[in-house]
Amino acid sequence: MKNFFAKEPKTKIVWGLAVLIGTVISYHFLKNTTEQPKITEKIQPEKIVKKTLAKEPLEILEQTVDLRRSLYITFDDGPNNGTENLIEIIDEAKIPVTSFIVAKHVKGSENQKKRYKRLEQDTLFEIANHSYSHAKNQYSAFYKNPENVVQDFKNAQDSLKLKTNIVRTPGRNIWRMKNVNSTDIKSSKLAADQLYKENYKVVGWDLEWRATKKMTLRDDHKIMLKRIDSLFFNNLEKTPRHLVILTHDQYLRDENSVQELKFLIASLKKSKRFQFKKISEYPEIEGILD
Ligand SMILES: [Zn+2]
């Protein structure tokens, strides 16, 4: 070896360079091959697993099944003081709701007519029948006479030229439709049966947002949220996964009540667990007139 390198110095240099280049290439090759698995084995397979096992089935489920519960927020006795505030709140929140109108209130004054016109023209509001006279607030006497009860609702129907046959009985939580039959005060039963016979669909409520003696909303929105959750949790709604909420236009005259209704709607929207609907969308109600 000693003689060979002594006799061939150029060859020695060439060999030396070859060994050096070989070492550099080997180093890079080994470096790359040891780093490469970190990318392929640790990061990419994880992404593949997540996509196939978690994301795709969830996306498919969301596309095929709407898991949200339905809320029907309804306002009774309008038009009334508070109707302007109600319209403002709903226009801002952009959710569909229902107004159960007392026909006599519409005829009350020019101001009342204007309020009704605004409700009628606002596509977020559905108008439904809450009688002509509101039983003159003499409920027991009113429900003793089923024919008069039917006539009172017919008067409201004609007077307001309503597009649905959905009614709510004044002072009584009564339900008459294909899948729901319920009467809170039994002496009103015959009148309710007669309304249903005449093809009216009678809708009560699952939850009421009540008033104080000063006619402002009594509880705050957090309490109402808990009640909504509790009714669903305990399966107390009339139709599973559908909840009808009642309150009144005239409880929305003060700033605090306005804020509380805004907060309730905002919280319900934020939770993404609910969808808002008009009362004619209630299951099997078949309340739209041709
Ligand atoms: Zn009422």
Q: What does the pLDDT profile of the chain (290 residues) look like in tens digits?
A: 444 444 455 555 556 556 656 555 555 544 444 444 343 334 444 444 444 455 566 666 656 688 899 999 999 999 999 999 999 999 999 999 999 999 999 999 999 999 999 999 999 999 999 999 999 999 999 999 999 999 999 999 999 999 999 999 999 999 999 999 999 999 999 999 999 999 999 999 999 999 999 999 999 999 999 999 999 999 999 999 999 999 999 999 999 999 999 999 999 999 999 999 999 999 999 888 87
- The confidence score (pLDDT) of residue 215 equals 97
Identify whether 92 is part of a domain.
yes
Which of 12, 42, 64 is the last residue before a domain boundary?
Answer: 64
Q: Are residues 11 and 31 in the same domain?
A: yes
Tokens of 129: 């029948």
Cβ–Cβ < 8 Å for 165, 289: yes
CA of 101 to the centre of ligand 1 (A): 8
Identify whether 286 is part of a domain.
no
Q: Are residues 9 and 96 in the same domain?
A: no
Structural element, H or E, at residue 167 = strand 166-167
Which of 64, 92, 114 is the last residue before a domain boundary?
Answer: 64
Question: Which residue's structure tokens are 């994301």?
Answer: 55
Q: CA distances (Å), 51 to each of 66, 103, 120, 168, in order?
A: 22, 57, 49, 50
Q: Are residues 9 and 122 in the same domain?
A: no
CA of 110 to the centre of ligand 1 (A): 21
CA of 171 to the centre of ligand 1 (A): 6
Percent helix, strand, coil in the chain (nearest 5)? 55, 15, 30
Identify whether 149 is part of a domain.
yes
- The confidence score (pLDDT) of residue 55 equals 54
CA of 179 to the centre of ligand 1 (A): 24
Q: Are residues 102 and 31 in the same domain?
A: no
CA of 208 to the centre of ligand 1 (A): 12
User: Which of 94, 85, 81 has its CA nearest to residue 265?
Assistant: 94
CA of 212 to the centre of ligand 1 (A): 16
Q: Are residues 51 and 177 in the same domain?
A: no
CA of 240 to the centre of ligand 1 (A): 25
Q: Are residues 11 and 127 in the same domain?
A: no
Q: Are residues 109 and 233 in the same domain?
A: yes
Q: Are residues 53 and 89 in the same domain?
A: no
The range of the structural domain enclosing residue 114 comes to: 69-281
CA of 41 to the centre of ligand 1 (A): 68
Alpha-carbon gap, residue 22 to 26, rounded angstroms:
6
- The confidence score (pLDDT) of residue 150 equals 98
Alpha-carbon gap, residue 86 to 250, rounded angstroms:
9
CA of 77 to the centre of ligand 1 (A): 5
Please list the residues that pair with 176 across neighbouring strands: 181, 202
- The confidence score (pLDDT) of residue 20 equals 58
CA of 4 to the centre of ligand 1 (A): 116
CA of 65 to the centre of ligand 1 (A): 36
- The confidence score (pLDDT) of residue 120 equals 97
Alpha-carbon gap, residue 133 to 107, rounded angstroms:
11
CA of 134 to the centre of ligand 1 (A): 6
CA of 32 to the centre of ligand 1 (A): 79
Structural domains counted in the chain: 2
For strands 181-183 and 174-176, give the pairing: antiparallel
Amino acid residing at 38 = K
Question: Which residue's structure tokens are 């309710």?
Answer: 192
Cβ–Cβ < 8 Å for 278, 96: yes
- The confidence score (pLDDT) of residue 50 equals 45
Q: Are residues 200 and 179 in the same domain?
A: yes
Alpha-carbon dihedral sign for residues 92, 255, 168, 174? positive
Q: Are residues 173 and 81 in the same domain?
A: yes
CA of 222 to the centre of ligand 1 (A): 25
CA of 169 to the centre of ligand 1 (A): 7
- The confidence score (pLDDT) of residue 101 equals 98
Alpha-carbon dihedral sign for residues 101, 105, 111, 114? positive
Contacts of 254 (CB under 8 A, 6+ apart): 216
User: Which alpha helices (H) appear in the chain, and where do they start and end?
Assistant: 2-7, 9-37, 44-50, 56-64, 83-93, 103-106, 110-121, 139-143, 146-160, 189-197, 221-233, 255-271
- The confidence score (pLDDT) of residue 19 equals 60
CA of 197 to the centre of ligand 1 (A): 22
CA of 170 to the centre of ligand 1 (A): 5
Contacts of 132 (CB under 8 A, 6+ apart): 102, 103, 104, 152, 153, 155, 156, 159
- The confidence score (pLDDT) of residue 23 equals 57
Alpha-carbon dihedral sign for residues 109, 115, 247, 263? negative
CA of 231 to the centre of ligand 1 (A): 23
CA of 76 to the centre of ligand 1 (A): 5
